[in-house]
Structure formats: structure tokens, C-alpha cells
Structure 1
């Protein structure tokens, strides 16, 4: 049997390799032209020590000098002695360049461009080959005719043949202008990645997901995966935007939540003139129950002010989540820059 092994490097690049169940991870990586640091191949030097974030595996012989029993119990592995028994996610403590690899560039064809609201677009593309990524990660998308690219998280699940993205409409921006005025089915773009440390980890406790605007995209990808794999952990998703018209993809969120069965979706509007059950900001509505005494995994994707406000809210509440993963997104260019 062959398993998928995601290698996450310190520089944010992820490469996903195939590894047979009777094959060591370092051997599989080397076969696919990725050189995980290694000196001995015998479990005696510790050079290939990495951290397994997800998956089942067996470890063959290794010396205590290379890796202690306590380290092994925490999830550290010697990849030269690691044989997978399931798909795995491994954190490699060096850069992709040091391992003689890097982000992969895949050509893709535009399938559809949708104007979801005044503030957001939906872009769907068909890559020349399927891109393996972890739900929550992003790619750089080239903008035809500009020589430039912009970074966007997948809003599609990792199993789909097509890739989809939620893209904020920035008046005058390169990507926004192309999507609004020029982009059409059949156009060619390049996707470079996947990248990023914001991705869904194993769900061992209640989940608190906080999305601001098009920061919903990675959570859509996560929901797609959970809808396929299932979970016994409750998920609370806060989705905060400025106006009701900005609440895009709600039908899809509701459909996925219904399929999973234990997802609570809470929407919030910031605009004072709008009528809605919940007004203001995410921090105005986070409850003690949401934080679960710290026994919760928090995922947060939104503009920098939202990220900082949530971090300050957690500090003020005296709650330290079991894990806290966040991603800030900034417009690459302002109206003035783009003019």
C-alpha cells in the first residue's frame, strides 16, 4: 500500500510524496528527489530527526543518543527508520532549499470567475495535474500579462480535481482588475505551492474557527476534508464580515455543516446600519463556552486588526488554547499603489 506523506519545511513550503508501507520515509523522499538531512541511515546519528504531526507509523532500530524514548513519545521520529501505516504529516526542521527542493509550479486553466459580492470573487481553475495540499494552505497565482502573482488559500478540498479560491475585490488591484475585466474560461495561470503553516491538524478536542471576510476560504477547505473523514469533535465557526452582502458561500457552509453534523455556524456583521442578530466584532461575541477552559484548538484567518484583537481578547480572558493557529492577510496593494 502507498501512503501520502506531507513534508512541511521551515520556509513554509510543503511537498507531498508517495511512500510505500515497506519503505522508509527518507528513502521515499530521496526517490522523489527530496534530500531530508541524513548522515547514517541506521538510526544512530539523529540528523534526520523530524516531528510527526499526524499519522500512524512504525519506527525501527534507533539509539537513545539519536532520539530518546521521551522524544519518540512526544511524536519525534527518525525518518530513516520511519515506515508509515497511514497518510502522515511531518515537520522538517530545515528549509526546502536545504533539501534540494522547493515549491512546485503547476499550470492551470481558468474554469470560471464568479462575482460573489461587491467585495469578493470566486475563481475556479483546473490544474494540469492535481496539486496535493493540506486544507488551509495557499498557492501563488500568476496574473496573466503582469509578471506578478498574488497568494490565496484554497477554498476547495484537497481531494478535488479543480481548485477554487475566494478573492477579495481590491479596486484597482492587479488581480481584481484582471478578474473583473479580462479573465475568462480557458485563460492560463500558474499555481506555485502549496505553502503555509496554517492547516488543519488532527482534531482531538473542540474546534473554534474564526473567519474574517475572504478568510473563510481555508475553513471551506477544512470543512470539505472533515465532511469526508468525519469527526466526533464539535466545531464552532464564526464568520465575520462588514455587510450582509459580504456573507458569501453560506449555502456551501450550511451544506457541509449539515453533512458533518456537529458544526455551529455564527455570522456577525460590523456595519452599524445593517440589521442582524449579531453585530460588531468577533471578540464581542466569543463566549466562555467557546474557549472551553483552554481545551480547544483555535484557528483564525482574517485581516491583521482582527487577528490582533482576538489575541488580546484571549490574553485578557486569561485563556491559553491548547493550540492557536492564525494567518493574517494584507492587501498586496492599496488603491493608491495600484493607480
Structure 2
């Protein structure tokens, strides 16, 4: 039996490896040429300390100087001692380049392009058999005919036969212009990834998901995962946009609401002239029950002003969530202007 381990490096690069039965994270990594921080291999020095963010494992043997009881209780572990019992997601406190690895690149065929509204486009790519990702992560896509790259979150769930993405149609935008004017099924695109520390962790308490514009994409991926794996906790999504035309993929949300027990969602439009039944920013439609007295995990994806506004609003409510994961993005930013996640 093998277990999949997602090694998430501090520069946002994720590499997936398979650990054999009884094999430690460190041994599996080095067997595949990924040199994560390591020194003694005996649980004595603490050099290989990492954070296991998802999954079950045997923590092995180590001394107090290498890992304290408090650290172990918080999910810290020693890669030289951890033996997976399930698939794991592990945060490695080092850059991928320092560990002699790098993002994977793939040449994939364009399956389809669909205009969802006057402001939004969806596109789908064939899924490489050896590309794995965590729901919420993204890839960089090289715009055909250029050396420019754009980052797009998966809107498809891991394991789907096609990779899907949402794009805001920006006048003069390199990728949106190509999708609108030149893209044909079968065209080859280069993608690199997966990347990003904004991804769905183990669901242990209620979830509040806050999406702005095409920041809906990673949540569609997360919901796809929950639809397949099941979820025992309530999940609520508030999806906010600027104009009525920006609201897309509502039918997919309705489908997930039918398939995931406890999942609900609300949409809102900020524009004053909107005819939508709910108006204003996402925070105007978060009810006290959704915050659950702070015993809630909040995921937020949207443009920087939205992220900053939500953080300020939470502080004003006097609520400190159990976990707060967010990602800032700019719809037209090149890949060398990296996303920010926490």
C-alpha cells in the first residue's frame, strides 16, 4: 500500500510523492530526489520539523529537544519519523529550490471555451494523468504566442477528467483576448504547477467561504471535493460581485447544494443599480450563526481591497476564527506578480 503525500513548500510550490508502506516522509522524499531539510534521521535534532496539515500518521520516536509535546499537539512532526496512515498534506519550511525540486510543467490540449457572461469566460483542458493538486490551488498558464504567464485557480475538483478554470474577460487582456478571438479546441497550452497555500484543509468545524468575482473558482474545486468525499459540518458560501453580469456558475452551486448535506450559499451584487435581491458586500450577508462564535474556519478569495475589508470587518466584530485562510489576486496580474495567501 502507498500513501500520497503533498509536500507544500514555503514558496508555494507543491510536489506530490508516494510513500511506501512503513516509509517515512523523509525516506520517500529522498528516494525521489527531493532533499527536504534533514540531518540526524534519528528524531534527535529537529532539523526536519514540518507541519502535517491533513491526514493521519504515526509520529514515531523522538526526544523532547527535537519536538515538544506542545508542538506535536499543534500538528508539528519530524519528517524523519512520520509514517503515513493516510494521504497527507505536509508544509515544508523551506523553498522548493533549496530542496532541489521545482514546479512540474505539462503540455495539455484545450478542450473547450465557454462564455459564461459578458464579463466571464470558462475554459477546460485535458487533465494529465500525473498532475495532482489540492482543491483551491492554481497553475500558471503560458499565454499562447507569448512568454507571458497568468495564474488561474482550478475550478474543477482533483481527479476530474478535465481541468477547468474561470477567467475575467478584460478588454485588452492577453489571455482573455486569446480565449475570445483565437482559441480552438486541440490547441496546446503549457501549464506549470500546482502552486499555492490556499487549499482546503481537513474539515473539523463549520466552514464559511467568501468569494469575490472569479475568486469563486477555488471554492468550486473545494465543493467538488466535498461532494465526492462527504462533509459532516455545515458549509456556507457568500459569493459577491460588482455587477449583475459578473454572477456566474450559479447552476454549479445549486448542484452542489443538492449534493452536499449542510451546504448553503448566498449571492450579492455591490452595484447600486443592480436588480439582484441581495445588494452590498459579502460582509453584509454574513449572519452571526455563520461565525459560530469563532468556532469556524474561514476561507476568503478575492481582490486585495475585498480581503483587507473582510479582515477589518472581522476585527470589528470581535471574532477570531479558529482558522482564517485567504488569497489575494488581481484578475490581470502577470505571474511575476505573485498571489498572496495566508
Common fold by TM > 0.5: yes
Report whether the alignment pairs 1:17 with 2:25.
no
The answer for unaligned runs of 5 or more in structure 1 is: 335-339
Summarize deviations over 1:116-161 as a string: whole Å, max 9, x none: 1111110100144341111001110111101111000000001113
- Mark the CA change 1:285 to 1:176 in structure 2 (over 3 Å): closer, same or farther: same
Contact 2:137–2:197 (CA<8 Å) still a contact in 1?
A: yes
Contact 1:206–1:297 (CA<8 Å) still a contact in 2?
A: yes
**The residue matched to 2:292 in structure 1 has which SS?**
helix
Equivalence for 2:339: none
User: Normalising by structure 2, what TM-score?
Assistant: 0.95
**The residue matched to 1:81 in structure 2 has which SS?**
coil
2: CA distance between counterparts of 1:240 and 1:187? Answer: 33
Summarize deviations over 1:193-225 as a string: whole Å, max 9, x none: 111111111111111001111110000000000
**The residue matched to 1:89 in structure 2 has which SS?**
strand
2: CA distance between counterparts of 1:326 and 1:319? Answer: 16
- Mark the CA change 1:48 to 1:333 in structure 2 (over 3 Å): closer, same or farther: closer
Please state how far the C-alpha of 1:244 moved relative to its aligned partner: 3.0
Equivalence for 1:277: 277
Equivalence for 1:176: 176
- Worse-superposed segment, 34-43 or 107-116: 34-43
2: CA distance between counterparts of 1:23 and 1:120? Answer: 46
Q: How does 1:123-272 map to 2 (within 5 A)?
A: 123-272=123-272
Contact 2:243–2:274 (CA<8 Å) still a contact in 1?
A: yes
1: CA distance between counterparts of 2:4 and 2:182? Answer: 38
User: Normalising by structure 1, what TM-score?
Assistant: 0.95
Contact 2:150–2:333 (CA<8 Å) still a contact in 1?
A: no
Equivalence for 1:337: none
Please state how far the C-alpha of 1:283 moved relative to its aligned partner: 1.9
The answer for unaligned runs of 5 or more in structure 2 is: 335-342
Please state how far the C-alpha of 1:179 moved relative to its aligned partner: 0.5
Say how many residue pairs are matched: 334
1: CA distance between counterparts of 2:127 and 2:55? Answer: 27
- Mark the CA change 1:213 to 1:239 in structure 2 (over 3 Å): closer, same or farther: same
Contact 1:142–1:149 (CA<8 Å) still a contact in 2?
A: yes
Q: After TM superposition, where is structure 1 displaced by more than 4 Å over at least 4 residues in a row? A: none
Equivalence for 2:338: none
Equivalence for 1:112: 112
- Mark the CA change 1:128 to 1:52 in structure 2 (over 3 Å): closer, same or farther: closer
Please state how far the C-alpha of 1:61 moved relative to its aligned partner: 2.2
Contact 1:130–1:161 (CA<8 Å) still a contact in 2?
A: no
**The residue matched to 2:274 in structure 1 has which SS?**
coil
- Worse-superposed segment, 322-331 or 239-248: 239-248
Equivalence for 1:286: 286
1: CA distance between counterparts of 2:331 and 2:224? Answer: 26
**The residue matched to 2:145 in structure 1 has which SS?**
coil
Contact 2:231–2:261 (CA<8 Å) still a contact in 1?
A: no
2: CA distance between counterparts of 1:279 and 1:74? Answer: 40
Please state how far the C-alpha of 1:333 moved relative to its aligned partner: 5.5
Q: What's the Cα RMSD here?
A: 1.3
